Amino acid sequence: MDSKEQQTILIAGGGTAGWMAAAALSRFAGGHRIVLVESEAIGTVGVGEATIPQIHLFNAALGIDEAEFLRETKGSFKLGIEFDGWLREGTSYMHAFGAIGRSAGLLPFQHYWLRAKQAGFAKPLQRYSLNELAARTQRMQRGRMQRGRTAAGAEMAYAYHFDAGLYAAYLRRIAEARGVTRHEGMIASVERDRATGDIASVTLDDGRVLAADFFIDCTGFRGLLIEGALGTGFDDWSNYLPCDRAMAVPCEGGGDFTPYTRSIARKAGWQWRIPLQHRIGNGMVYSSAHLSDDEAAETLLANLDGKPQADPRPIRFTTGKRRKHWNRNCLALGLAAGFMEPLESTSIHLIQSAISRFLALLPAGKPSQAAIDHFNAQADFEWSRIRDFLILHYTANERRGQPFWDAVRDMALPDTLTAKIELWRETGFIHREREELFTEVAWFQVLAGQGVEATGYNPMADALPEDQLRALLEETEAAMVEQVRAMPRHIDFLRQFVSGQGTAQTPATKANA
């Protein structure tokens, strides 16, 4: 590539990944010509419609108006994820966004809660979580709350549920308005440069040849460029995450309009429930070694809030990732890069983070090998730490007597996860390594929710007299309850906001999952 000439980036495939890439590149890579190839004859998987708070950063960078975005995607607000029956039948906990409790001195809240729990007067974590209290009572607000009697107003952290197909269509309109050229057609073959080995062009089924300097593979599980042409290789993680089927079906609205995602443990996997303005998204993730497709469909259809709007069909997958997400002059995004089940709503975030990482290393000419190696090292770290977080949900279960759950409870764990669990058990300490996606608070909620007991806590927590510790917990809970009582119902707030009658508060973009 000659860096002095305008470079062409060709995106192979549309869907959420393709149009996210097109929208971002058309906004920030002004010196490049952006081309996207997709075929309406090829459907999208579309198994995930839930996000984490970092989506604010992506939408804000594109200059997207939040109310318009929610109208266009039929979206709703999300304050966290409820895990129903994951420890054992009849139990429930939530991974809520935002802070838990209040720190005191040098120590985070978890150590004071652990001390109070051992002393017998700590309440469940949800009593100290603004987001979970709001979610459980189906209330919602944006930005910073009003200052209360007991504490300064807390800031809400939230994400969204939305229709992924409508989001892709919305981003397409934005991208095309900024100059992205779309070609309708199926890719019949991929040609490589004989001298360099890089991808040179793609040929469509009607014979058109489209050349480019750089290629982004958004062709789904096939990985038509990253795997089909370049033979990059795949790291199989099914020994850690053995579910290998997903089945999705939308249904008519019904039941509670919850500002949270539900993940309900079933006998050989789990079911999701995602409420949108116009329907509810539902699905099953399961192990075909423990449950047939017919049994999965029967379980899914028997647990809907409304009439199904389609027939469920199984989608086969292998959990894992490409050995290189960036290989030569090709970057894989979305399902072409790999797959991890949508248990913690990370699918869209992984597209977003890869785009952000690529823009930071955007090549002006031939890609630097140092840049490629750095990108892949960062991607490997991000994916492996998310993998560990998902495994924790499975391995820490007490659903005894169910073959699938017995197997995942007894499986060998990655050393990185074993070390984190042991550190928590012995000291109550949680370490967030480098730019690991999930924070200490996220790990705290899942470890506690899954019944992984910490036998110790930092002894500095003992320096706080017991009466002051009790007061800290009581005042924290009272502040949270006071804030939540002032919030409108989620459904009322959403209706007002998308109609243009909402408040002018700013989103909590700094919150992590």
pLDDT value of position 4: 57
Secondary structure of 272-302 as H, E, C letters: EEEECCCCEEEEEEECCCCCCHHHHHHHHHC
pLDDT in tens, 174-225: 999 999 999 999 999 999 999 999 999 999 999 999 999 999 999 999 999 9
Segment 352-365 mean pLDDT: 97
Considering the domain architecture, whether residues 412 and 475 belong to the same structural domain is answered as: yes
Residue 85: is it exposed, middle or buried by C-beta count within 10 angstroms (0-12/13-18/19+)? Answer: middle
* 475 annotated among ligand-binding-site residues: no
Considering the domain architecture, whether residues 470 and 423 belong to the same structural domain is answered as: yes
pLDDT in tens, 485-512: 999 999 999 999 999 875 544 443 334 4
* 220 annotated among ligand-binding-site residues: no
Tell me, yes or no, whether 394 lies in a domain: yes
* 17 annotated among ligand-binding-site residues: yes
pLDDT value of position 145: 60
pLDDT in tens, 414-428: 999 999 999 999 999
Share of the chain above pLDDT 70, in %: 94
CATH code of 14's domain: 3.50.50.60
Tell me, yes or no, whether 303 lies in a domain: no
* 153 annotated among ligand-binding-site residues: no
Q: Which residues are catalytic?
A: 78
Tell me, yes or no, whether 375 lies in a domain: no
Considering the domain architecture, whether residues 414 and 459 belong to the same structural domain is answered as: yes
Query: CA-to-CA distance for 335 and 12, rounded, in angstroms?
Result: 12
Assign 155 a pLDDT band (cuts: 50, 70, 90): confident
pLDDT value of position 146: 58
Assign 45 a pLDDT band (cuts: 50, 70, 90): low
Query: CA-to-CA distance for 366 and 385, rounded, in angstroms?
Result: 31
* 204 annotated among ligand-binding-site residues: no
pLDDT at 148 over 80: no
Assign 350 a pLDDT band (cuts: 50, 70, 90): very high
Segment 286-307 mean pLDDT: 98
Considering the domain architecture, whether residues 212 and 325 belong to the same structural domain is answered as: yes
Cβ-contact 168, 49 below 8 angstroms: no
* 154 annotated among ligand-binding-site residues: no
Tally of structural domains, the chain: 2
Assign 143 a pLDDT band (cuts: 50, 70, 90): confident
Tell me, yes or no, whether 271 lies in a domain: no
pLDDT value of position 30: 86
pLDDT value of position 49: 86
Share of the chain above pLDDT 90, in %: 89
* 101 annotated among ligand-binding-site residues: no
- Angle of the 440-449 helix axis to the 415-427 helix axis, nearest 10: 80
DSSP secondary structure of 118-159: HHT-PPPGGGG-HHHHHHHTTB---SBPPP-SSSPPPBP--E
Q: Which domain holds residue 230?
A: 7-49+163-238+319-367
Q: Which two tokens stand for residue 263?
A: 């993940």
Question: Token match 């002018």: residue?
Answer: 504
- What does pTM read for this prediction? 0.95
Considering the domain architecture, whether residues 347 and 458 belong to the same structural domain is answered as: no
pLDDT value of position 362: 97
* 491 annotated among ligand-binding-site residues: no
pLDDT value of position 333: 98
